[in-house]
Amino acid sequence: MAFCEVHIFSEALGVQTTVNVVIPQRSTAGEIGIGGKSNTEKYKCLYLLHGLSDDHTIWLRRTSIERYAQEYGICVVMPFGGRSFYTDMQYGEKYYTYIAEELPRLMTDMFPISDKREDTYIAGLSMGGYGALKIGLKNGERFGAAAGLSSVADIVGSSALFKDVLIPVFGETLAIPSREDLFALAEEYDIHPLKPRIYMAVGTEDFLYESNCKLREKFQTLHYDYTYCEAAGTHSWEFWDEQIQSVLKWMLAC
C-alpha cells in the first residue's frame, strides 16, 4: 500500500485542505509481512469520515485501516470535515458539497479509482456515521453502500446534547430541516431506484445506543438492503477498529 497526504484546493470550501489516501501498489514483491489482493484495473474506494473531536489522520492513528484495506485491495480516502456534521453550514464551509460531490471528482482525477457506484462506498463513526449515512442516502447514484458506526443517528433528538456545535451548522434556532434528518431521508429515498445498501453498528453501552435502535426500527419498516449489528462496547476505538473490519467485509461481499 502507498500512503499519500494530499493537499488540495477545494472550490466548495474556498480553502486549501488535506486528504489522507491509502491506495494499493501494483506490486509489493519483497515487502515483509504484507499480503493482499492486487489489481490491474481501477480500484474500489471507501470514503472514510472522522468524528467530532478528530481529523483526517485519526483512522490511521487509531486503527489498522491501511492493513485492512490491503487485504481487499481497495483505496481509502480520509478527508477533513471539521466540526461540520458534514453539512453545508449556516455559518461556515460547505462540507456536504465538498465530501458528497467535489471530493469524489478530485480523487478519481488524481488516482486510479473507479467512479462506478458499485465500487464507491462511504462510512464513518459518530458525527462521521451521521455524515456517511446522510451522504449515502442523498447520493445513491454515486455511493453503492453507506455505513455508520455509533452514529449520531437522531440529529433532531440530539440537538440539545450537541447544541454549541450545531449552532454554527444549523443556526441559532436549531431548526434542522428534513433534508438533514436521517429518519426523513430514509423514508424519502426508500422509493429511489439507486438507494445504497446500509450498514449500522453500535455498542450496547454507547450513549448513542437508543437513538441507533430508533433509526434501526425506521429502516426495518422500509425496503433497504439493510444490515444492523450491535455488540458489547462503548463509544470507543476498540469498538470501531473491530467494526470497520466487518464493514469492509460487508461492503466487498458483492
pLDDT digits (tens, 9 = 90+) for 139-181: 999 999 999 999 999 999 999 999 999 999 999 999 999 999 9
Helix (H, G, I), strand (E, B), or coil: what is residue 88? strand
Q: Quote the CA–CA distance of 143 and 203 in Å, as a whole number.
A: 25
Q: Return the domain boundaries, the chain.
A: 2-251
2-251 — its CATH code? 3.40.50.1820
pLDDT at 41: 82
Predicted pLDDT at 190: 97
Q: What is the pLDDT of residues 96-117, one digit of tens each?
A: 999 999 999 999 999 999 999 9
- DSSP 3-state assignment of 30? coil
Sort residue 92 into left (φ over 0), alpha (ψ -120 to 50) or beta: left
Check whether 46 has a pLDDT greater than 90: yes
The pLDDT tens digits of the residues spanning 171-229 come to: 999 999 999 999 999 999 999 999 999 999 999 999 999 999 999 999 999 999 999 99
Helix ranges (H only) for the chain are 58-62, 65-72, 95-97, 103-110, 127-138, 163-170, 182-188, 209-220, 237-251
pLDDT at 21 over 60: yes
Show the CA angle centred on residue 124, arms to residues 162 and 188, nearest 5°: 80
Q: Is 66 helix (H, G, I), strand (E, B) or coil?
A: helix
